[in-house]
Structure 1
Amino acid sequence: MDNLMKLSCEEFLEKLASKEPVPGGGGAAALGGAISAALASMVANLTLGKEKFLAVESEMLRLAAASEYLWQELLQLAQEDASVFEAFMNCYKMPKATDAEKALRQAKIQEAAKMAAEIPLKIGEKSLAVLLLAAEAAELGNPAVITDAAVAALMARAAVRSAVYNVKINLNLINDRDYCSVVAGRITALEQEALAAEKNVLEHTDKVLA
């Protein structure tokens, strides 16, 4: 499998558009979250070093560092999402001629389905962290680039929602209802926090632009 992090933007999009199953929606969500993080970092960097924003210098330094860490993490998760999907599909190729083979195959499918749910869940959680940083950038950062902070927030919100859908489709394959219930609670909390953060960012941005 290609290292997705080493591809150019054009190469990544070509792979995304192809008949190959990976990268897919999970990788696209992770990339969207990474782009959001880079934008949030840009807002911080365009605030740093300016005399009128010295009061928030420490916050912007932290925000820039945290954003860079998150976009690196999200790019790695795009790779992991592709790897997990390939492993999941390979489980369906396992032999099933005997009862023992069928049982082992089903157990491996269940294990792989959980991993296929866990990675987009991580993408959603990291993207929420990006959204919260974008909200902070919008509130404290240079107002000349507030729309960049708003775009970062909107893209991060989309990444959260996209990741959640990728979790949900895998939960439908998992027989462990206790596990599914716990994960369902986590994604509900993710969605609620992301929605509230997005609403606050947009309201603040609209006030600044009015």
Structure 2
Amino acid sequence: MNTAEMKTIEFLDALAAGQPTPGGGGAAALTGGMAAALLSMVIHFTIGKKKYADVEAEMQEYLARTETLRRELLAAVDADAAAFDAVAATYALPKETEEQKAARTAAMQEALKHAAEVPFAVAEKCLALLQLAAPIGAKGNSNVVSDAATALYLAFAALKSALVNVNVNLKFIKDAAFVEAWSAKVAGLLAEADDAYAQAKQAIETTLEVAL
């Protein structure tokens, strides 16, 4: 069943079951989706309000982005499961001859690369949410900016959780150049995330007048 068609209890039951998917990667993507939804909620409580008329156009633009990210992150839950299943499928490939062994190894390596790329894309989307949380937290309806704070925490957790899956897959990839390049990408994304998190946290604290 497609994740978008599942009830919450069905997804949690599947997550808790003795099966590999959905797993941590899917949970990270869904958590990111919830962060996007909360930012959208803050915006919906902001647009159309006279008090916030001066940021109406800006908030409409943010809403288009948070809603796109919400849809993409929900779809990523299934994409992550598919990527894992593709890796698992390579273990069933024949390995009786040297040719079969070589083909199996090549297929496995390609699947592992894709399995690293999928959660990295999730982390990138979560970074985008962290970067949106600052202006939404600073200019959104102050009555619901606490929900932007929750979105901030969820997006940061989802980003870090997704990168765990990137690093686990990199561990088994034999292409040294690929591993070096993607390890650098992970480090760069983490640095951006730390900066975006700090900026959003400060913006939200200023609006709420409470420490997070």
Q: Same fold (TM over 0.5)?
A: yes
Partner in structure 2 of residue 11 of structure 1: 10
Partner in structure 2 of residue 136 of structure 1: 135
- The SS at the match of 1:49 is coil
User: 1:144 and 1:82 mapped to 2: Cα distance?
Assistant: 38
Alignment of 1:71-90 (within 5 A): 71-90=70-89
- The SS at the match of 1:112 is helix
* Aligned: 1:123 with 2:160: no
Partner in structure 1 of residue 194 of structure 2: 195
Conserved? CA contact 1:120–1:166, under 8 Å: yes
Conserved? CA contact 1:4–1:78, under 8 Å: yes
Q: What code does the residue aligned with 1:49 have?
A: G
For these two proteins, the number of residue pairs brought into alignment is 209
**Offset of residue 207 of structure 1:** 3.0
- Long gaps (5+) in structure 2: none
Q: What code does the residue aligned with 1:55 have?
A: D
- The SS at the match of 2:181 is helix
* Aligned: 1:207 with 2:206: yes
Partner in structure 2 of residue 110 of structure 1: 109
Identity fraction in percent: 42
* Aligned: 1:45 with 2:47: no
Q: What code does the residue aligned with 2:178 have?
A: Y
**Offset of residue 20 of structure 1:** 1.1
Q: What code does the residue aligned with 1:72 have?
A: R
TM-score (norm: length of structure 2): 0.96
Partner in structure 1 of residue 181 of structure 2: 182
Q: What code does the residue aligned with 1:161 have?
A: K
Q: Deviations over 1:162-190 (max 9, x none)?
A: 11111000000101111111111111111
Q: Deviations over 1:26-57 (max 9, x none)?
A: 10000000000000001111000111111100
**Offset of residue 206 of structure 1:** 2.6
Range with greater deviation from structure 2 (68-77 or 190-199): 190-199
User: 1:113 and 1:136 mapped to 2: Cα distance?
Assistant: 37
Q: Deviations over 1:82-104 (max 9, x none)?
A: 01111110101111111111000
User: 1:41 and 1:63 mapped to 2: Cα distance?
Assistant: 8
Conserved? CA contact 1:160–1:190, under 8 Å: no
- The SS at the match of 1:63 is helix
Partner in structure 2 of residue 67 of structure 1: 66
Partner in structure 2 of residue 55 of structure 1: 54
Conserved? CA contact 2:135–2:203, under 8 Å: no
Partner in structure 1 of residue 19 of structure 2: 20
Large movers: runs of 4+ above 3 Å: none
Q: Quote the RMSD (CA, aligned, Å).
A: 1.0
Q: What code does the residue aligned with 1:125 have?
A: E
**Offset of residue 105 of structure 1:** 0.4
User: 2:29 and 2:171 mapped to 1: Cα distance?
Assistant: 21
TM-score (norm: length of structure 1): 0.97
- Long gaps (5+) in structure 1: none
Conserved? CA contact 2:130–2:200, under 8 Å: no
User: 2:67 and 2:193 mapped to 1: Cα distance?
Assistant: 20
